[in-house]
Amino acid sequence: MPWSNIPVQHRDQASFDLFEFLRSLPEGQAGDCDLEVKPDPRRQLPAFPARLVAVRKSEAAAEEARRKLSRKASKNGSLPDPRSLEAAAYVILLTSLESPSLPPAQVLDLYRFRWQVEIAFKRLKGLLELGEMPAQDSCLAHTILSSKLLAALLLDDFTSAFLSFSPWGFHLR
């Protein structure tokens, strides 16, 4: 999530300093904090419990994220927010999973798995043009879909030799 996207506070309604929390994370280890999302009286939304999970990215992954932020800001004719540049060095997740149920590293593993699924769907839609069906006839559509799914399986088999990668740049263990 973008660092400025969701207003969170401690569960006792005390303010939460995200950057203080992020800076306190040990190198190469995930951390978490039980919080709550602030209520929004305008939309009649009450506060609800949440858990922030974060990990520091590798320096290469952080630098790439900073470059992307700088390019995007440059295209808009502005400078990136310094806090955004600092936050780019972390993967920050907000979840409803309670602390005892999963350790932070497992929450990040689930996120990494979900990310791999998103990439697989993007590949299917992009490379195999699975986003649209060119045929109206149900038999022809079934044949096209089956052949594209077979191609997807072959593609997956060819790429399975590559390691899954993590958005923070290293495996947690």
- Residue 103 makes CB contacts below 8 A (sequence gap 6+) with 30
Neighbours of 90 (CB within 10 A): 23
Q: Is the dihedral angle over the CA atoms 72, 77, 78, 79 positive or is it negative? A: positive
Q: Which residues of the chain have pLDDT under 50?
A: none
User: Considering the entire predicted model, what is its pTM?
Assistant: 0.72
8 Å CB contact between 128 and 156 = no
89-138 pLDDT, tens digit each: 999 999 998 888 899 999 999 998 988 888 888 877 887 777 777 888 98
Closest to 26 (Cα-Cα) out of 54, 45, 66, 47: 54
pLDDT of residue 3: 84
Structure tokens at 4: 């400025």
